[in-house]
Amino acid sequence: MSGILYGVGVGPGEPELITLKALRCIQESDVIILPSAPKEECHAYRIVKEVYPEVEHKRTLCLPFPMTKDRETLERAHNEIFGQIEKLVEKGLKVAFLTIGDPGVYSTYHYIHRRMEAAGKEVEIVSGVPSFCAAAAALGISLGDMREEIHVVPASYDIEATMELTGTRIYMKSGKKLARLKELLQKQAESRKLEVYAVENCGMAEEKRTCSLEELDTEAGYLTLVIVKDGGDC
């Protein structure tokens, strides 16, 4: 009997944004995989626990992913994590890999998903509410109207080139790059009208919203999302 791996998106932080399908898959799973440790500090686990306290009694396996950009280190870690999950699925178990937001948006889950598919195992992605959609809702703004382009950018990488983009720019997990991002936007604002927003820890108890470039906190945490809307030339 073959098991299955679910890649479950639990939304950005607000427990009520967990989908019914995500909740069902978690409830039906034999093992819960968390991409960080300990489980009490895992954002995805804490979100689920708010709506499904019984998850505390589920078999849980913490498999932290290294926070590095070194390809060899990442490849080795991904292979090791895949090997552990593959063994569970081969035993016929239902396994739920939890991830905040949506599994398809800069998620560690897909490194495992691709390996499982290549190995011929059954896998299923359970979509979750992306953080940038939830952030826009919290701010009461639209991400895109008419022909406006929407650009989703991983802010931990090169952001200089994104200054040429028009429409709406979404900088994910800005964290350590906030000071540099603010500097670039301030320079750009000298010649272009910009609307700048930020949401830190969207949907969580410690959520913080910012609605201007001047108020952008360069000391904000890792889970900070910045939205920049192009208002045209000054």
Instruction: Please report, for the chain, the start and end positions of each structural domain, with discontinuous segments joined by +.
Output: 4-126, 131-233
pLDDT band (50, 70, 90) for residue 43: very high
pLDDT tens track for 71-105? 899 999 999 999 999 999 999 999 999 999 999 99
CA nearest to 107, candidates 234, 8, 210, 221? 8
Query: Percentage helix, strand, coil, to 5, in the chain?
Result: 35, 25, 40
What sign results for the dihedral spanned by CA atoms 163, 232, 130, 184?
positive
Range of lowest pLDDT (33-42, 131-140, 173-182): 173-182
pLDDT tens track for 128-147? 999 999 999 999 999 999 88
Cis bond before residue 38 (omega within 30° of 0): yes
Return the top range by mean pLDDT from 1-5, 6-10, 178-182. Answer: 6-10
CA distance 172 to 162: 13
- Cβ-in-10-Å burial (0-12, 13-18, 19+) of 2 comes to exposed
The token duo for 142 is 């639209």
Q: What is the pLDDT of residue 62?
A: 96
Which CATH number is 131-233 given?
A: 3.30.950.10
CA distance 123 to 111: 13
Single-letter code of the amino acid located at 91: K
Q: Do domains 4-126 and 131-233 have the same CATH topology?
A: no
Which CATH number is 4-126 given?
A: 3.40.1010.10
Half-sphere exposure of 135 (CA within 13 A, CB side): 28
CA distance 219 to 105: 24
pLDDT band (50, 70, 90) for residue 177: confident
